[in-house]
Chains A and B, each alone.
Chain A
Amino acid sequence: MNALRATLIIFCMLCAADALADTPNGATLAQQGNGHGVAPCMACHGADGSGQAAAAFPRLAGLSQAYLRKQLDDFANGSRVNATMQPVASELSDVERDALSEYYSKLPLPAATPSPAPNGEVAQLGQRLATRGRWSNALPACEQCHGPDGVGVGDHFPPLSGQSAVYLSNQLHAWQQGSRHNDPLRLMQSVSGKLSDDDVAAISAWYASQPSVPSKEQQP
């Protein structure tokens, strides 16, 4: 009887500790939402954080923690306009945003199958813009900031590989229209203004067909 009582007391204490915990659990938030308005992230971004290509929900797994945190802030403050994410980000507290950013940044890269390579001309244009840019138009190559094969660099240049064509194309159009204007030094607004619709389609198809390889620091 005493043992049962003790067990009950411990159970209640654990419940209370869980409910009152200052630090929310990123995995719990991602899998279950925050219990007051925010749906589980995984409903759209997938259980493994790889996103849903068809619906343009992006990959979150393995992105920089600082980048993810900034995007949540920017959805909430409107510098990255998005009807789905604005209310979600707004309902997340400071510590919840931190917990989620940390959680997704540490998720291993999902072994997603890249989409099929684009056809000849589109592939050529996409590859050229990705690796060489178009300097006659002062357009740097994507990889000059986003790294070789678009693996992503540091906290400000997210990976392009492992994202779907529709997501990438949506973002490039959003930069062009100004509905997304949360880029440091206006780098993406400047770059996207130099792209035609064909360019956007080619770049998006090109990176969607690249395997997502992890960004890793390496000193020679």
Chain B
Amino acid sequence: MSRMRPILISVVLLLIACEHPSPPTSVSAAQVPAPATSPTKVADHFVPPPESTIPDDDFGKQVALGRQIFVDPGRYAKAYVGNQLSCENCHLDAGRLANSAPLWGAYPMYPAYRSKNHHVNTFAERLQGCFNYSMNGKAPPLGDPVLVALESYAYWMSKSEPIGTSLPGRGYPKLAKPALTPDYARGEVVFKRDCALCHGGDGQGQQAAGRTVFPPLWGPQSFNWGAGMEQVNNAAGFIKANMPLGRGNTLTDQDAWDVAYYMDGHERPQDPRFNDSIPATRAAYHDTPDSLYGITVNGQLLGKGTTDR
């Protein structure tokens, strides 16, 4: 067989050559001028300074390092990261984008009392929370170079803002309560239609060349049960304003609530504050209708945590 093939192939090749003396010549899609780009909307919120103005001195070095950590913590703050996420996954445009919990929205609001831990938190302590919960890692100690760099980046980005004033675009938008109670089955329909393309049908995201391109939304490599994004209201606000990427504000509010419920209705790493039992931990830290910790969703009691990393 293998010795016959070359003969056959040669014969076919000759026939083909006669039949098609020249390759097609036309070039793909004609080039016609592009439609005019819509003018950039005048910003109705604070605009952080351009990155080109990061000073070229010892302070600027920390700002630049803070930005690097922010976009790639798995590389630049490796010791404190326990999953495949990056700060930039939930704080888009390296923490600069309004309605995506920008750093310039958070920085001037600290120190602040937080009901999450019942005391006044400095900005550095707030950053520690990100590592404990959203990054499912461990908090860098106060004064650690990672926190110094991140705080420098946030401070630099907030230049000339008022202190202690909640600015438009801070955090995620607060959506009005939906007409229908958020629902797992409706959320699954939205997920399959608008999210699975990038995040995968199993919500585990996609990687390329060793980097997370689309973040895992639940499971062992996602944020843990202590993160703010586990609350359906927070997730709904983020999703409404920012998803699908580059097409924010195209989902209906109801869709955003439903798909947020679907995402948060899956198991994820245990809350590091876990104490004694799921009901006790729910009572201590998740006593809100916006948390599904300790609730049975789609037949599964949530809050068991994930075992494999």
Known A-B contacts A148-B209, A156-B197; A84 and B9 likewise in contact (beta carbons under 8 Å): no
Report A74-107 CB contacts with B as 1/0, cut-off 8 Å.
0000000111110010000000000000000000
B 1-43 to A, binary, CB cutoff 8 A, 1 in contact else 0: 1001100110011011001100111111111111101101001
Do residues A187 and B246 form an inter-chain contact, with CB atoms below 8 A?
A: yes
A193 touches B209 (CB 8 A): no
Contact A216 B13 (CB under 8 A): no
A84 touches B40 (CB 8 A): no
Interface code A15-50, partner B: CB below 8 Å = 1, 0 otherwise? 100100000000010011101000110011000000
A180 to B29, Cβ gap below 8 A? yes
Contacts of A215 in B (CB 8 A): 208-209
Choose one: A39, A151, A172, A184; the contact of B197 (CB below 8 Å). Answer: A184
- Chain A residues lying within 8 Å of B194, measured Cβ to Cβ, are 185
Instruction: Determine whether the beta carbon of B92 is less than 8 Å from that of A147.
Output: no
Cross-chain contact B12 with A145 (CB below 8 angstroms): no
A213 to B210, CA, bound (A): 12
Chain A: CB-nearest residue to B13: A32
At the interface, yes or no: B206 with Cβ under 8 Å from chain A?
Answer: yes
Determine if B190 is an interface residue (Cβ-Cβ < 8 Å). Answer: no
List chain B residues, Cβ under 8 A from A113.
Answer: none
Per DSSP, chain B at the interface is loop
A186 to B26, CA, bound (A): 27
Is there an interface contact between B246 and A138, defined as CB atoms closer than 8 Å? Answer: yes
Instruction: Tell me the minimal C-beta distance from A14 to chain B in angstroms.
Output: 5
For the complex, is A195 an interface residue (Cβ under 8 Å from B)? yes
Which residue of the partner chain, among B19, B197, B213, contacts A147 with CB atoms under 8 Å? B213
- Residue ID in chain B nearest A81 by CB atoms: B29
Shortest distance from the beta carbon of A192 to any chain B beta carbon, whole Å: 8
Q: CA separation between A82 and B28, bound complex, in Å?
A: 6
- Mark each residue of chain A from 117 to 159: 1 if its CB lies under 8 Å from any CB of chain B, else 0: 0000000000000001101111110011101110111101100
- Given A171-B29, A179-B29, A39 contacting B40 (CB threshold 8 A): no
Chain B residues, Cβ within 8 Å of A200 = 34
Bound-state Cα–Cα, A174 to B37, Å: 15
Contact of B198 among A55, A145, A179, A194 (CB under 8 A): A145
* Chain A residues in 8 Å Cβ range of B269: none
Which residues of the partner chain A approach B4 to less than 8 Å between Cβ atoms? 11, 14-15, 18
In chain A, what residue has the closest Cβ to B195? A185
> Which residues from chain B contact A56 at a C-beta distance below 8 Å?
27-28
Q: Which residues of B contact A147 (CB under 8 A)?
A: 208-209, 211, 213
What are the residues of chain B within 8 A of A82 when measuring CB–CB? 28-29
Within 8 Å by CB of A190, from B5, B23, B27, B246, lies: B246
Q: Given A140-B245, A195-B37: A153 and B214 within 8 A (CB)? A: yes
Return chain A residues, CB-CB under 8 Å to B94.
132
Chain A residues near B9 (CB-CB < 8 A): 28, 31-32
- The answer to whether A197 and B33 have CB atoms under 8 Å apart is yes
Shortest beta-carbon distance from B181 to chain A in Å:
27
Do the beta carbons of B1 and A84 come within 8 Å of each other? no
Contact B1 A14 (CB under 8 A): yes
CA distance A53 to B35 in the complex (A): 25
Q: Which residue of A lies closest to B29 (CB)?
A: A174
Max chain B CB contacts within 10 Å: which of A138, A140, A195?
A138
Chain A residues, Cβ within 8 Å of B31: 169-170, 173
Once the chains bind, are B198 and A135 in contact (CB under 8 Å)? Answer: no
Evaluate contact between A140 and B246: CB separation under 8 angstroms: yes
**Residue ID in chain A nearest B193 by CB atoms:** A185
Ordered by A's residue number, 14 sampled pairs between the chains whose C-beta atoms are within 8 Å are A33-B16, A35-B15, A39-B16, A55-B25, A55-B27, A81-B29, A135-B96, A144-B245, A145-B213, A151-B208, A170-B31, A171-B29, A190-B247, A218-B207
User: Could you list which residues of chain A lie within 8 angstroms of chain B, going by C-beta atoms?
Assistant: 11, 14-15, 18, 28, 31-33, 35, 39-40, 43-44, 55-57, 81-85, 88, 132-133, 135-140, 143-145, 147-149, 151-154, 156-157, 166-167, 169-174, 176-177, 179-180, 184-187, 190-197, 199-200, 213, 215-220
Report, nearest first, the 7 A-B pairs whose CB atoms are least far apart: A147-B208, A43-B23, A174-B29, A135-B93, A218-B210, A140-B246, A84-B24
- Told that A190-B247, A192-B34 touch, could you supply 13 new A-B pairs with CB distance under 8 A? A31-B13, A32-B13, A44-B23, A136-B40, A151-B208, A156-B197, A170-B27, A177-B35, A184-B197, A185-B197, A191-B246, A197-B33, A197-B34
